[in-house]
Structure 1
Amino acid sequence: MSRVIGHHDVLVLGGGVAGCVLAARLSEDPARTVCLVEAGPDHGPDQDAWPRSLRDARALPRDHMWERGVAVHRLRARVVGGSSCVNGCWHTWGSDADHAEWTRAGGPRWSAAAMAPYRERAVAAMRLRPAPEREFSVWAHAALAGARELGYEDVDMGAPGAPGRGTPLLNARDGLRWNAAFGYLGPARSRPNLTVLGDTTANRLVLGGGKVLGAEVVVDGRRETLTADTYVLACGTFGSAGLLLRSGIGPADELREKGVRAEVDLPGVGANLSDQPGVFIPLAPTEDLNSALAAQEKEGELYVSRMLVRAASTHCPADGWDLHILPSAGDPLFGSLPPGEYEAGIAAFLMKPASRGRVRLRSADPAEPLDIDPAFLTDPGGHDVAVLREGLEIVERLAATSALAPLAGPVAGRPSRELTDAELRALLGTYWHPVGTCAMGPATDPMAVTDGEGRVHGVSGLRVADASVLPTVPAANTQLPVLAAAELLADALKEAAS
């Protein structure tokens, strides 16, 4: 049996990017009590007390993860602040075509114009800014020049627009990673109506009579129950789907097979998983490039990348783009090199995949890892392979420009255009931008899990407000869109309560 340990007006389960936004915005009303629950640690209000690895904007820390030694697509943060504590600090925005998809699913509040104020709120709270000149390496400058040679014009990466080259906005200043716990929770922590519970894992929701009666959590090895008037899931694309499934909300037949009592038959829970796969093409740095990178590292200003190209394949619809071309040079993402040597190359990422994966339960045991299948490049029509191959053609042309060719040359081996589909799949990495497992859509859509305000179909008092509600992945790095979506969904909840 678990013990009831507290009641709040709103219980937010998941203290990542979206959870921090929700807790901060919903607690602005002093009459509303809000509790934020996070499985990972809460390092508190003092930025200097946070682990150095999480504060260092030059690093991609791997010490606050749910799992270790797993396939890279499974990596997800376990700490208050979520992915904003461990990712590359990049913020880009999607296209008008993305908003058209979201508006069809969730209504007019998801249009580009309606979401613009939420984007601006997120930019302000996260202190987003373009990369300063001193952070551009010789490689980044050359990549910008090379993209210009290929005809890509300057674009604002933090707003809708057209294909082009540019610089993402950064939640980093003077090497400090300004995460969502700093930007959103920081100003809110002193509010007496806000409670933040770290190291508290949500196991399942307790349901009865078509509504949530409580949330079973584990803290210090004990099972406890938290209750609220409204429950909001912000556990991320993997975690929110997993929590619903463990609670009996999902495809009924599959739940029964796993020993879970089916409470609400929602076939879309865990389905529609969409992420952005890509392939990194390594290049061989010249001695001049290695020397220039070493000098910049000595100055403490070496960043692997500070620019990208958003490109449209021949399969891309109007008003959008479906590729990110990402040149990088610096310390390797995985492994290490001797001092004075660096990794250089260009990646092509598929931004609008047609393939769809799934999140399933392995068993009813909450401690059992989720079964996560991204299903990269599996769409029957071959769309994703075709678009990725066009991206690799752009990579090859960019590497051969007069700006980049003198800095790095091709490595030994077959060029990417000669790779078989199987060889291409073997090289796949991911951009770490999963969405869609609790996709919004009308109640008439059998695969929709939530509506345009995050309400879960068939369950009163329960909402989802994170990347999992997005029915399609935007043609962007997802942190800024998720911040804006959480701002939007917080407003929707306030409106419903007023």
Structure 2
Amino acid sequence: MGSSPTSPGSPGPSGHDVVVLGGGVAGCVLAARLSADPGRTVCLVEAGPDYGPRQRDWPEKVRNARALPRDDVWERHTAPHRVRARLLGGSSCVNGCWNTWGSHADHAEWVRAGGERWSAGAMEPYRRGAVDGMGLRTVPDGELSAWSTAALAAAGELGYSEVDMAVPGGPGRGRPLLNAVDGLRWNAAFAYLDPATRARPNLTVLSGALVDRLTVRDGRVRGVHIVVDGVRTTLVADTYVLASGTFGSPAVLMRSGVGPAAHLAEHGIRCEADLPGVGANLSDQPGVFLPLAPTDELNAALAAKEASGELYVSRMLVRAASEYCPDGAWDLHLLPTAGPPLFGKLPPGRYEAGVSAFLMKPASRGRVRLRSADPAEPPEIDPAFLTDPDGRDLAVLRSGLDKARELAGALQSLAGPGAGEPVQDLPDSALRDRVGTYWHPVGTCAMGPMEDPYAVVDGEGRVRGVSDLRVVDASILPTVPAANTQLPVLALAEMLADALSH
């Protein structure tokens, strides 16, 4: 029943066993795993381009693991927290290629919301499956710059033991797993939708297809309306799986009449399932950069590394615990970086250096809301960084900056204090103005038990009140893990694809 994945202008047959809405990290996993059964027809729908099964046909910027490409995104020149990939492979095509895992405390939170399948032990086979499926590898020594090497040693001198960043554990220093090989970004489309997978006759990959809304009546989905090259088309399936991400999935639900009734009424949308949690509970990881001034020695070492084609801004991190953190867990990432600036430019041979402190377990909650019922209109996104009424997030972040300053002090032979007032001494209002994001939003379609009025899905991603609809992406995580979210999302997609198959 599948049509050619390289013919995005032709929607092909409208009927499928499963329609997956969103071709990002989770969507690629779902399409590959669900279509492994030749008796099940699967259609993967992606709003952005699909550059095809051959890696060499993909733009060089997308393949380059040393950069953060920003061409195939929903909004150009927007606030950093609004950056969303719009191409097959999703965020794996635009992120830092880092993969880490959270703590046992994270799993305890998820078990309370979704049941035992979310425990560390139950998820372990899917974590390993995600590592293998995505082709993740450890950072080789040759990709460590003088800065990363020194930072690993300095963190050890400060008492941080070496840990495996890709398994549950405790605080420490180490290297992430990478979805990159010799500078090639190995995105989820490469990993999961290889030529053999794409050749399956039961798999349709439909790109350039904007999801408008689902038609929901009497607790069932009757079809999904998409727009391809300006032409409206309806796809029909037995099961609909929404994998449009933390910002996209709640927006599709709300346009479909699934969400907070009062908000839907504001936009003239008929409410089919009053779920106040849709778009609520947005959680992301804010951080602040502590700038440093590289020495001539460091600039020269970085320039030599760049000339050899092996300069990466960072290849290590520190998992740190503030005084507010439970024993055995961590609530901070300290990220020493040195290389070309993320924003702006510097003269040849000169580089940016510093240490970022990221708050990994924020208490603050933001939200996603519709601006209109038009699918082409980007949603309203408010991350609400550092707004928790008790002020705990700000206190943890300041603790992180103290630890970042300590680490920077151990690196002073390579980089001294930056110009201007020290970041850690800024008043609260000025510090809030410096806050950036780690780009790990979750929570806007959060799973939870039946008694939780804000739960949107159960532990298998089934949407409350809509029998044939599931959500499988980062939006279902009720809390953000103390980790980069790509590996957890790969694992949850592996796990829930397995649940869908049985």
TM-score (norm 2): 0.97
Per the TM alignment, residue 462 of structure 1 is displaced from its structure 2 partner at its CA by 0.1
Aligned pairs for 1:190-209 within 5 A: 190-209=199-218
Aligned to 1:18: 26
One-letter amino acid of the structure 2 residue matched with residue 180 of structure 1: A
- For residues 89-140 of structure 1, the C-alpha deviation after alignment (integer angstroms, 9 at most, x for no partner) is 0000000000000000000000001111111111111111111111100000
* Match runs of 1:21-100 below 5 Å: 21-100=29-108
The equivalent of 1:160 in structure 2 is: 168
Q: Would you say 1:349 and 2:358 are equivalent positions?
A: yes
Runs of 4+ in 1 over 2 A off after TM superposition: none
Stretch of structure 1 that moved more, 379-388 or 126-135: 126-135
CA distance in 1, matches of 2:208, 2:346: 36
Q: Size of the alignment, in residue pairs?
A: 491
1:413 aligns with 2:420: yes
**1:340-376 per-position Cα deviation (integer Å, ceiling 9, x unaligned):** 1111000000000000000001111222110000000
Question: How far did residue 54 of structure 1 move?
Answer: 0.7
Query: Shift in Å at residue 4 of structure 1?
Result: 9.9
The structure 2 residue matched to 1:371, chosen from 342, 359, 380, is: 380
The gaps in structure 1 that reach 5 residues or longer are: none
Alignment map for 1:331-350 (pairs within 5 Å):
331-350=340-359
Cα distance in 2, alignment partners of residues 224 and 254 from structure 1: 27
Partner of 2:186: 178
Spell out the pairing of 1:38-437 with structure 2 (5 A cutoff). Answer: 38-186=46-194, 187-401=196-410, 404-437=411-444
- In structure 2, how many angstroms separate the alpha carbons of the residues matched to 1:149 and 1:189? 49
Contact 1:97/1:318 (<8 A) preserved: no
**Do the aligned partners of 2:210 and 2:375 also contact (CA within 8 Å) in 1?**
no
Cα displacement (A) at 1:22? 0.2
Contact 1:4 1:224 in 2 (8 A): no
Q: Counterparts of 1:460-471 in structure 2 under 5 Å? A: 460-471=467-478
What is the alpha-carbon root mean square deviation over aligned residues?
1.0
Q: Which amino acid aligns with 1:205?
A: L
Inter-CA distance 4–287: structure 2 relative to 1 (3 Å threshold) = closer
1:421-460 Cα deviation digits (max 9, x unpaired): 1111100100000000000012221000000000000001
Task: Check conservation: 1:12, 1:232, Cα contact below 8 A.
Answer: yes
* CA apart distance, 1:208: 1.1
What is the Cα deviation at residue 416 of structure 1? 2.4
Q: Residues 357 and 401 of structure 2 are in contact (CA less than 8 Å); yes or no, is this contact kept in structure 1?
A: yes
Q: CA deviation at 1:5?
A: 5.1
| 1:258-296 residue CA offsets vs partner (Å, 9 max, x unmatched) | 211111100000000000000011100111100000000
In structure 2, how many angstroms separate the alpha carbons of the residues matched to 1:489 and 1:383?
34
State the match for 2:6 in structure 1: none
Structure 1, residues 21-72: CA drift from partner, whole Å, max 9, x if none? 0000000100000000000001110011110011111111000100012111
The answer on whether the counterparts of 1:259 and 1:363 sit within 8 Å (CA) in structure 2 is no
Partner of 1:448: 455
In the TM superposition, residue 469 of structure 1 has moved relative to its aligned partner by: 0.4
- Whether the aligned pair in 2 keeps the contact of 1:348 and 1:392 (CA below 8 Å) is yes
SS of the equivalent of 1:433 reads: coil
Of 147-156 and 411-420, deviating more is 411-420
- What secondary structure does 1:452 align onto? coil
Give unpaired runs (5+ residues) of structure 2: 1-10
Amino acid at match of 1:15: G
Paired with 2:319 and 2:113, the residues of 1 have a C-alpha distance of: 25
Tell me which moved more, 303-312 or 364-373: 364-373
CA contact (8 A) 2:171 2:328 kept: no
SS of the residue 1:142 aligns to: helix
SS of match in other structure, 2:132: helix
Give the aligned residue type for 1:463.
R
Deviations along 1:227-264, one digit per CA (max 9) or x if unpaired, are 10000000000000000011010000111012111111
SS of structure 2 residue aligned to 1:272: coil
Alpha-carbon distance in structure 1 between the residues aligned to 2:158 and 2:243: 41
The structural deviation recorded for 1:318 is 2.4
Q: Residues 109 and 153 (structure 1 numbering): CA distance in 2 closer, same or farther, change over 3 Å?
A: same
Measure, in 1, the Cα distance between the counterparts of 2:431 and 2:231.
Answer: 47
Return the alpha-carbon distance in structure 2 between the equivalents of residues 138 and 58 of structure 1.
17
State the alpha-carbon separation in 2 of the partners of residues 417 and 478 from structure 1: 27
Identical pairs, percent? 70
SS at match of 2:30: helix
Where 2:14 maps in the other structure, the secondary structure is strand
Tell me if the contact between 1:4 and 1:227 (Cα under 8 Å) persists in the aligned partners.
Answer: no
CA deviation after TM superposition for structure 1 residue 319, in Å:
3.1
Report the alpha carbon displacement of residue 320 of structure 1 after superposing the two structures with TM: 1.2
**SS of the residue aligned with 1:181?**
helix
State how far apart, in whole Å, the 2-side matches of 1:376 and 1:5 are: 44
Match of 1:294, SS state, is: helix
Contact 2:165 2:175 in 1 (8 A): yes
2:490 corresponds to 1:483: yes
From 484, 493, 498, give the equivalent of 2:500: 493
TM-score w.r.t. length of structure 1: 0.98
Which of 479, 485, 494 does residue 472 from structure 1 map onto? 479
